[in-house]
Amino acid sequence: MKPESDTAPAFEDLRYPFQTERLNQVLWAVLIALGAAAVPLMATHNWFPSAILAATAGVVALALMALRRGRVRLASWMMLFALTVAISILVAVGKGLQDEALLALPGILIFASMFGNRRLYFGLLAYTACFLTLIGLSHFLGWRSPQQMPPRPDTFITIIVILAVIAYYVWLISCNLQEAMARLASENRLVRKSLAQIETLAHHDALTGLPNRVLARDRFEQAASHALRSGSRAAVLFLDLDNFKTVNDSLGHAAGDALLCDVAARLVGCVRANDTVSRQGGDEFLIVLGDLANAEAASAIAVKLIEQLAKPFLMGDLEVVATGSLGIAVFPDNGPDFDSLLKHADMAMYQAKESGRHTFRFFDNAMNANVTEHLHLVSAMRTALANGEFKLHYQPQFSLKDERIVGAEALLRWRHPTLGNIPPSRFIPLAERTGLIVDIGNWVLHEACRQAKAWQQAGLTDFVVAINVSPVQFRRDGIERDILHALAAADLPPQCIELELTESLLLAEATKLSELLSRLRAVGLRFSIDDFGTGYSNLGYLKRFDVESLKIDQSFVRRMTQNADDEGIVRAIVQMAHSLKLFAVAEGIEDAQALARLIEMGCDHGQGFHWSPALAPDEFLKFARARA
C-alpha cells in the first residue's frame, strides 16, 4: 500500500496538467466541428439535427467555462455526455446503422480513455454496444422505416466487431499512456530526491551534517535583519580546536572525524534552537547567534561552549580533551556584514590562542578585560571551593522590642589569595550564570548547619540561622536531598534553620515550589522572603506559600529617615506582614533614628551595622555571649 500512496500524488501531478491542456484543445476542436456540421444542415433547412448540434455546442461551451475554473473532470464528463446523447439522437432519427454519425462513437471512446476513468470508459463502451444492438434490432424487426435499404445481419456484426477492435486498441493505448505517465512520475520523484540531496550537500557539511558557510551566511543575514528591526544584537563566534592535529596524528583520521562529530553534537547542545552551528572545514566551527539583548549575552554562551569542550570525549578506551579557542564579533558594533564579522571573529580567535588558548576574546578590546575577568573568576571559583577559600560570616538578628539576639544570617565571603576580598555582588551573579552556585550553595548549607550545631553545643539555644538559597538551586533536582542531608550530617533540628527565598523564585516556580516547600515544612524547616519590596510584591503568593517572615530590603530601610516615600513603603510592608500573621524583619539598620522609627511602626526583628556587621564564627560567639 505504501508504494501506491507514494506514487499516486506524483502521477496525478503530471497527469492533470496534461489533461487540462489536451482537453482544452479537444473542446475547441469539437466546438468547431459541431459548427461545421451544423452549417450545411441549416442551409438545407434540416432544423431538427441543427438544433441537436446547437444544443450540444452549448454544453461544450459550458464545459470550456468549467475547465477555465480548474474543474477538469466536470468539463470532460459534460463533453462526453453531450456528444453521446447527440450521436444517439442523430443515429436514432437518421439512417440507423448506416448513419455517418456512427463514425463519432470511436472518437467518444478515445476521449473517455484520455479524460475519464476506467468506470466511465467501460460504461460508455457498454452503452454503445447496447445502443447499436437496439438500433440493429429496430431494423431487423421492422420497428422503424429506414430511409435506405436496411442493413444485412452481417453488416451489424461487422460494425460490432470493428467497434470492439477499436475499443480494445484504444484501451491498450490508454494503458500504455498511463504506464508511461507512471514511469515519468517515478523518474520525476527520483529527480526531486536527487535535487534535495544536492541542495543538502550544497548547504551542509558532509561529515557532521552541520550547515556550511553558505547556509551560515544566510542564517546570519536573517539574524542581522531581525536585529536591525528589533534593536537587538547578533554575533558571529569563530571556534578553532586547540589540539585537534595531535588527535589526528596519534589516533588516525577516523578517530579525528569521530571527534569532530562529537564536538559538533556538543556545540549544538550548548546553543538555542534559533542559533546556528556550522562547520567551516577542518577543525573550525562557526556559530551564529541571533536575538541577543547585548554583547554580554554572547559571552554567557561562549563560557558555556568553552566549558563543554573542556569535558573529556570518550574515544574507545581513551579520554580525549579537545579544548577550543573562540573569537566573538558582534553585529552591528563590530561590522555591518557577514564577511567583516567573520574576519573580526577570526582575529579575536587568534587573540584567544595567544592568550593561552582554551578561552575566548571579543573583537572589542575594551570588552576583553571584563570578559577575561569573568572567565578567570569562574576558574578561580572552582579552585576556591576546592581549596577552602570560601568562608561564612554571620550577621546577628535582633528582636527590636528588647534587642535580644534571635538569630543570624549566614553571608558568603571570598578572600582570593592574590585579589583579596571579592564582594558577593561580583561573584555570585557569575556563579549563578555558570551553574557553580549549585556546588557553592550546597557547601553553604552544610557549613551553616555545622556551625549552628556548634553554637548550640556552646550554649546558644533558641537560635535560628538564616541561609540564602539561590533560585538556580531550586531549579535543579536534588535540592530537597541536599537540605535534608546537611541537617542529618550536622545532627541539627530543622527548626534551627530558616531558608531565605526570593520573590522571583516564588512567582516563576509556583507549582513545583509549592509541593517542595510543603514537604520541607512538614519536617520543621522555616522560610522567609528575602529583599521584599523590590520584586512583584503581592498578597497572592504570600497566601499560597506558608512563610514565617518578610525581610524588608535594606535600600528602603536606609533611606526611610530622609525619604517619606521609602518610609511609607516600609510601613506598608510591616502592616502587610502583621495582617498575614508574619514577622517583619528589617535589613540595613544603621542608626538609632532608623531603629526608633521601626520600633514605632511595630517591626519585629532587624539586623544591620547599628549592632554589628557580619562576623566570623568565633567573633560572633563572643559577640552573642557579651549580649546575653
The mean pLDDT value of the chain amounts to 82
Calculate mean pLDDT across residues 480-501.
93
Largest interatomic CA distance in the chain: 143
Contacts of 434 (CB under 8 A, 6+ apart): 303, 304, 307, 378
pTM over 0.75: no
Poorest-pLDDT segment among 244-248, 304-308, 340-344: 244-248
HSE, side-chain direction, 13 A CA sphere, residue 383: 10
Most confident of 88-92, 464-468, 623-627: 464-468
Angstrom distance (rounded) from CA 586 to CA 440: 26
User: Which class is 384-627 in CATH?
Assistant: alpha beta
Set of cell numbers at residue 373: 575577568
Is 16's pLDDT higher than 60? Answer: no
Distance CA 47, CA 49 (A): 6
**Model confidence over 134-155: pLDDT tens digits?**
877 776 676 655 444 455 454 4
pLDDT at 3: 38
Residue 32's identity, in one-letter code, is I
Q: How confident is the model at residue 160 (pLDDT cuts 50, 70, 90)?
A: low
The answer to whether residue 5 scores a pLDDT higher than 60 is: no
- The better pLDDT of the pair 602, 355 is held by 602
* C-alpha of 218 from chain center: 19
Residue 46 predicted with pLDDT over 70: yes
Positive or negative: CA dihedral 208, 209, 211, 214 = positive
User: Would the pLDDT of 8 be above 50?
Assistant: no
User: pLDDT (tens digit, 9 = 90+) per residue, 588-620?
Assistant: 999 999 999 999 999 999 999 999 999 999 999
Share above pLDDT 70 across residues of the chain, in percent, rounded to a whole number: 82
User: How far from the centroid of its chain's Cα atoms is residue 408's Cα?
Assistant: 46
Q: What is the 3-state secondary structure (H, E, C) of 545-577?
A: CCCCEEEECHHHHHHCCCCHHHHHHHHHHHHHH
Mean pLDDT throughout 383-404?
Answer: 92
Q: Which residue has the higher pLDDT, 429 or 491?
A: 491
**Model confidence at 9, in pLDDT bands (50, 70, 90)?**
very low
CA 513 to chain centre: 26
What confidence score (pLDDT) does residue 107 get?
Answer: 72
* pLDDT above 70 (res 35): yes
Please give the residue that has the higher pLDDT: either 167 or 457: 457
At residue 116, does pLDDT exceed 80? no
With contact defined as beta carbons under 8 Å apart, do 586 and 604 qualify? no
Q: What is the mean pLDDT of residues 294-310?
A: 87
**Residue 95 in this model has a pLDDT that exceeds 80:** no
**In this model, does residue 372 exceed pLDDT 80?**
no
Q: Give the model's pLDDT for residue 594.
A: 93
Listed by start position, the domains of the chain span 2-189, 213-363, 384-627
What cell does 576 get? 502587610
What is the mean predicted confidence (pLDDT) over 66-94? 83
Q: What is the reported pLDDT for 213?
A: 84
For residue 544, CA distances in Å to 19, 480, 515, 532, 574 come to 70, 20, 11, 16, 19
The pLDDT of residue 560 is 92
pLDDT (tens digit per residue) in 230-242 = 889 999 999 999 8
Judged by average pLDDT, the poorest of 145-149, 194-198, 375-379, 575-579 is 145-149
Residue 570 has pLDDT above 90, yes or no: yes
Q: Burial level of 325, CB count in 10 A (0-12/13-18/19+)?
A: buried
pLDDT grade, residue 224 (50/70/90)? very high
Tell me the backbone φ, ψ of residue 560, rounded to 5 degrees: -70, -25
Domain 213-363: homologous superfamily in CATH: Reverse transcriptase/Diguanylate cyclase domain (3.30.70.270)
pLDDT greater than 80 at residue 565 = yes
> pLDDT tens, 453-484?
999 999 888 889 999 998 888 877 788 999 99
